[in-house]
């Protein structure tokens, strides 16, 4: 994917971004971006479980 392409996340393609999601949400803590949108503890937990299922940690 180049810098200017846009992608729609679907059930079929989202697991391809698992590593990038892990990096942004759990390592760099940059996502979700800004102060307005926060994930609940439950949402973090579900996201983490999904990543663990895919072997991303
Ligand atoms: C659970 C929520 C979110 C997840 C999992 C997520 C995930 C990601 C990931 C993985 C990237 C990097 C893409 C790549 O490496 O190819 C990214 C970039 C980006 N996301 Fe999010 N994101 C979330 C919420 C948000 C929200 C709420 C906003 C805006 C309000 C946002 C705006 C952006 C922008 C502008 C970028 C480009 C890079 C940057 O400016 O830092 N994201 N996101």
Q: How is the chain split into domains, by residue range?
A: 14-53
Cα 7 from Cα 16, distance rounded (Å): 12
pTM for the predicted model, two decimal places: 0.85
Q: Which of 32, 39, 50 to mutate to test the pocket of ligand 1 (most atoms within 8 A of CB)?
A: 32
Q: What is the pLDDT of residues 20-34, one digit of tens each?
A: 999 999 999 999 999
Each residue's pLDDT tens digit, 37-47: 999 999 999 99
The reply to whether ligand 1 has any atom less than 6 angstroms from the CB of 36 is no
Query: Would you state the pLDDT for residue 2?
Result: 62
Report the nearest atom of ligand 1 relative to the CA of 1. 16
Is 18:54 a contact under the CB 8 Å cutoff?
A: yes
Taking alpha carbons only, the member of 7, 24, 19 closest to residue 50 is 19
Q: Grade residue 1 by pLDDT with cuts at 50, 70 and 90.
A: low
């Amino acid at each position: 994917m180049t810098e200017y392409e846009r992608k729609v996340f679907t059930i079929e393609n989202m697991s391809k971004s698992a590593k990038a999601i892990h990096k942004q949400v759990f390592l760099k803590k940059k996502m979700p971006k800004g102060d307005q949108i926060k994930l609940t503890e439950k949402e973090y937990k579900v996201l983490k479980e999904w990543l663990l299922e895919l072997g991303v940690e």
